[in-house]
Amino acid sequence: MTPTTTKKPTKSRPAAKLERSPARVEEILKRFSAAYPKAVCALTHRNAWELLVATILSAQCTDVRVNMVTPTLFNLFPTPQSLADAKLEAIEQVIHSTGFYRNKAKNIQGAAQTILKNFGGRVPKTMEELLQLPGVARKTANVVLGVAYKRAEGIVVDTHVYRIARRLGLSKAATPEKVEQDLIKIIPQERWIAISHELILHGRALCIARRPKCSECPLNDLCKARDKTA
């Protein structure tokens, strides 16, 4: 993530008409839960530190690619201290294939240094503190809080969540940050973590950007997206 912010989507298709009644939202959540009962974060990690780094690397890069890179990265630099002390060129070489590797290398090393200096070597557990780390914006912070610490302080809005929220008429906002604010107003907090994973999986499997697989979608009858397919 170039820095790790959620890039504002460009040339977004017009959003569907807003339909945010409690009954409709409840039905949508029920169907997502049934369709993706085992939805979890796709980034391989063993602790909050590895999840933080993997999430920073995942900006404008697939999780599959990140999962190919991080085993080598964490073998060479297993702790914040080792990454903070590493030569930047060595980090860049390992993460080169994730794209934007120079900025990402600076961000993950900067995050390591800040964690050591300000947080006793531990990945912080609050949104306010996480946002102090280089390369971390709300999307990354929400991933770490929800997955590593089981704390629901927001909803992860990546390109998939952004697209689906607009297609389903849950938001017409033009930025991920505003889409998140729309979603947290209508989705119960106890569902914030799970729905993030469910929407991301749905976006990868069926509600893809071009020619979504609407005939296979469990929410087809509830969706009035302007780019629905037959």
Domain 48-148 in this protein, CATH class: mainly alpha
Model confidence at 7: pLDDT above 70: no
Catalytic residue among 139, 150, 185, 228: 139
Q: How far apart (Å, rounded) are the C-alpha atoms in residues 147 and 144?
A: 5
In contact, 111 and 136? CB cutoff 8 Å: yes
103, 108, 115, 227 from 83: Cα distances, Å: 15, 8, 11, 45
Q: Where in the chain are the domains?
A: 22-40+154-222, 48-148
Query: Which residues, 6+ apart, have CB-to-CB distance to 46 below 8 Å?
Result: none
- pTM score, whole prediction: 0.90
| Domain 22-40+154-222: CATH architecture, name and number where available | Orthogonal Bundle (1.10)
Question: For residue 179, what are its two tokens?
Answer: 């889409």
**Has 158 been annotated as catalytic?**
yes
pLDDT tens-digit map of 199-216: 999 999 999 999 999 999
**Has 63 been annotated as catalytic?**
no
CA angle 76, 145, 77 (to 5 degrees): 5
**Residue 13 confidence (pLDDT):** 73
pLDDT-derived band at 6 (thresholds 50, 70, 90) equals: very low
Catalytic residue among 30, 158, 185, 228: 158
pLDDT tens-digit map of 150-194: 999 999 999 999 999 999 999 999 999 999 999 999 999 999 999
Quick one: CA dihedral 193, 204, 111, 74, positive or negative? positive
**Residue 15 confidence (pLDDT):** 87
**Residue 5 confidence (pLDDT):** 42
